Structure 1
């Protein structure tokens, strides 16, 4: 944050430990599934049941991918997070903003930026980067700094 330029920050949405835990859990689910895939109960299950299992595994893979890829950006104009479906809230629409941060556990519990828009819509943004949290706080506490 320098001079007259409006602060802007971008960073990962989830801490590295969270990303690694999600990956490990995903791997564990796939390994457990691989061990039972040849069981008679699975082979004799209906097509719908098998499709449901495959769909669940696909969702797990998609979420794991986006936990690694997701990034949050805070600017004077808005807050954005890339995700399976990207989120964006303009500061001009924010009626309430708060941060959920668990001291000493931020490496495990991803800090969250929670904003309520004028329409009452609540949007949660994850932020694992200290500069990102600082910039969010800057705009949340100083509304006159936001671009209108």
Structure 2
């Protein structure tokens, strides 16, 4: 029978936590997976017991994914358009499909990194002092 008790874990740096989140690993202990479904994090890490329902990533991961995909596509489309390599209809199709594909591919890693940084910086529900104050009020 596996040991289900939470184990003590050394806190990672912000960069290490963000890289773990990008890879769909627990930012705290590097156990996989961080997500139960595409954008829904697991309730608790199976290894360290960290509660991941406390995050408040909201729309920020989508903004990151859109920002990065736009900056990756822009040089390609500018180069192809300036050399008239493809007709404008094909460029528009490449732009739309490329933006959709890149954004969908980058959305989960961006959310993992945002959750990891919120955990590392003790934002929102990850701050034990804030949780204790909320429990006393509620």
TM-score by length of 2: 0.28
Q: Which has the higher helix share?
A: 2
Q: Which has the higher strand share?
A: 1
TM-score by length of 1: 0.27
